[in-house]
């Protein structure tokens, strides 16, 4: 717990917190769509698009955070573990980027052409 609060949280870039916040905002708006947006017919599509964008960005920002944590550590073994976590997150981001970009472009084109 102390490691997370003293090392990981300060290493997280502000864009990570914005992405998490916007993802939660999008999810909560999708859950309460009928109550909050009753007269906006395409609000669900826009909030879904925002959630997908956050989902695509998240692994890249987690990888950056893991890289920053690895740079702050003293022990060689823990530095290697955090570097491997960073590389794994970058690989996950690369895999999620291709279908994510296709879905985002299709949804954005559909929403803008309505």
- Assess contact for 61 and 15: CB atoms under 8 A: yes
List of residues 6+ apart from 2 with CB closer than 8 A: none
Distance between CA atoms of residues 32 and 28, nearest Å: 6
pLDDT tens, position by position, 24-54: 999 999 999 999 999 998 999 999 999 999 9
Banded pLDDT at 4 (limits 50, 70, 90): confident
pLDDT tens, position by position, 13-30: 999 999 999 999 999 999
b (16+ CB within 10 A) / e for 26-65? beebbeeeeeebeeeeeeeebbbbbbbbbbbbbbbbbbbb
């Amino acid at each position: 717990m102390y490691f997370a609060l003293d090392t990981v949280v300060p290493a997280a870039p502000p864009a990570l917190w914005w992405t998490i916040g916007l993802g939660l905002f999008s999810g909560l708006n999708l859950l309460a769509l009928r109550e909050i947006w009753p007269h906006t017919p395409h609000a669900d599509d826009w909030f879904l698009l925002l959630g997908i964008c956050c989902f695509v960005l998240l692994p890249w920002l987690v990888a950056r955070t893991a890289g920053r944590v690895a740079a702050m550590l003293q022990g060689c073994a823990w530095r290697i573990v955090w570097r491997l976590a960073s590389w794994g997150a970058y690989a996950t981001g690369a895999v999620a980027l291709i279908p994510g970009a296709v879905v985002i472009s299709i949804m954005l084109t559909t929403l803008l052409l309505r």
